[in-house]
Amino acid sequence: MSFTVVKAQPGGELPGGEALTWSDGGLGRREFLRRACIIAAGVVGLPSSAAAKMYEETVVKGKKPSVIWLHFQECTGCTESLLRAEHPPLDDLLLDLISLDYHETLLAAAGKQAEAARTQAMRANAGKYILVVEGAIPMKDNGIYCKVGGKTAVEILNECAAQAGAIIAIGSCASWGGIPSSDPNPTGAVGVTGALKGKTVVTIPGCPANPYNFLGTALQFATFGTLPALDSKGRPKFAYGRTIHEDCPRRPHFDAGRFALKYGDQGHRDGWCLYQLGCKGPVTHANCSLQPFGEVPGAWPIGIGHPCFGCTEQFVGFSIAQSTTVPIENPTPSTTFAAVNSGGGKMGVAAVGVGGAILGAVVSAGYKFSTTLDAEKPSADEEA
């Protein structure tokens, strides 16, 4: 597979050189989309034969799945993240691969018309549409802290989820509550699984979520009607099965015990491990080091020299202070070795002191006692 390197569109140029962009100028729409499907399939871990099927179903046969995208307590960062994806770019995604029937940010319509579009699409695609949720759902006081079109978030969610074919929670807020849920959580914000019981929800945590994790999942469902293997929190294992620590490019520094101890010190400048600065990589499940977010590899926290924040993990991101170090979830040996016989055991100074003193006391007491016996005058009957 080769990419055509073309000059970036105006405004899309990166400092320092050519940008690698997809442009329909070089390849032709269909070929381009075919390649987009291959990449999307690769992201999810499906073979290239799956990509062919994806292409056929969506582009050739035009069977684009309906997508209803809800926004609740969110910053729209996940949508923005998706917008910056280039393969496939969002316009191609929207026009050729899926049918985005409701999206508050991107929809041209507004107000009652928008709501009508939603309910119509839901009716027409009942049981088949993909429901994507972005943002947390407030539960306190019957959920009045987020209302769209006069309905509370939790009402809308339940209404839309009833007939959904698949439910995807994109971003940490929708996955487990995210920023809105951090202490003291005044609105009672929860993720989709907290507001919706008894349904399979794919969660794609991250702040923002990696758009390719979402794209791979959505396209798999769109093509095959199946969801990728999920872990106990509903996260696709292909993306969230391992911790950042396990795939970190700075791991050799960790294993050798080379740590940056202060921002800007020599170790930091040399790119050493950021664990001592509070990197949450060891407890954070995500694939940020393997799958770049935007089109700039290395544009992620550790890549730019900042310790991981743990944004995908509930109780880590927005919960534990950045500078606090965390235990290692899956410890493996370091680069140092034990000696064949490394010694061990305890011989405490106090212990020796106490033991010796007691023994000494007993023996000397016994000896002293025997001298008092010596001093005694034996009675007649003892002389037998």
> What is the SS3 assignment for 367?
helix
Q: Pick one of 105, 298, 354, 360: the residue that binds another protein (CB under 8 A).
A: 354
Number of residues counted as binding another protein (CB under 8 A): 46
Q: 211-224 vs 48-55: helix axis angle to the nearest 10? A: 70
What does the angle CA 142 – CA 144 – CA 150 come to, to the nearest 5 degrees? Answer: 115
- Collect all residues with Cβ–Cβ distance below 8 Å to 381 and sequence separation of at least 6: none
323 binds another protein (CB under 8 A): no
Q: Pick one of 124, 140, 332, 360: the residue that binds another protein (CB under 8 A).
A: 332
Measured from the CB atom, is 299 or 358 closer to another protein? 358
Distance of alpha carbon 261 from the chain centroid: 25
Least separation in angstroms between residue 241's CB and another protein is: 14
Sheet with 66-71, strands from edge to edge, namely 99-103, 66-71, 130-134, 166-170, 201-204
**Residues between 56 and 115 that touch another protein (CB under 8 A):** none
C-alpha to C-alpha distance for 97 and 176, rounded to whole angstroms:
28
Handedness of CA 97, 101, 103, 105 (dihedral sign): positive
Stretch touching another protein by CB under 8 A, among 18-26, 160-168, 186-194, 338-346: 338-346
**Residues between 255 and 294 that touch another protein (CB under 8 A):** 255, 275
Q: Pick one of 2, 16, 47, 376: the residue that binds another protein (CB under 8 A).
A: 376
Least separation in angstroms between residue 242's CB and another protein is: 13
DSSP 5: P
304 binds another protein (CB under 8 A): no
> What is the SS3 assignment for 104?
coil
Q: Pick one of 5, 252, 358, 360: the residue that binds another protein (CB under 8 A).
A: 358
327 binds another protein (CB under 8 A): yes
DSSP 93: I
C-alpha to C-alpha distance for 181 and 158, rounded to whole angstroms:
20
Stretch touching another protein by CB under 8 A, among 63-71, 207-215, 311-319, 369-377: 369-377
374 binds another protein (CB under 8 A): yes
Least separation in angstroms between residue 252's CB and another protein is: 13
The radius of gyration computed from the CA coordinates of the chain, to the nearest angstrom, equals 32
C-alpha to C-alpha distance for 173 and 193, rounded to whole angstroms:
11
Measured from the CB atom, is 208 or 307 closer to another protein? 307
Least separation in angstroms between residue 321's CB and another protein is: 18
182 binds another protein (CB under 8 A): no
Stretch touching another protein by CB under 8 A, among 15-23, 209-217, 260-268, 376-384: 376-384
232 binds another protein (CB under 8 A): no
Partners of 134 in the β-ladder: 71, 170
Name the residue type at position 286.
A
Least separation in angstroms between residue 232's CB and another protein is: 17
Strand pairing class (147-148; 151-152): antiparallel
Stretch touching another protein by CB under 8 A, among 3-11, 54-62, 81-89, 351-359: 351-359
Least separation in angstroms between residue 332's CB and another protein is: 5
Ramachandran angles phi, psi of 84, nearest 5°: -90, 0
Residues binding another protein (CB under 8 A):
254-255, 275, 327-328, 331-334, 336-348, 350-352, 354-355, 358, 363, 366-367, 369-376, 378-384
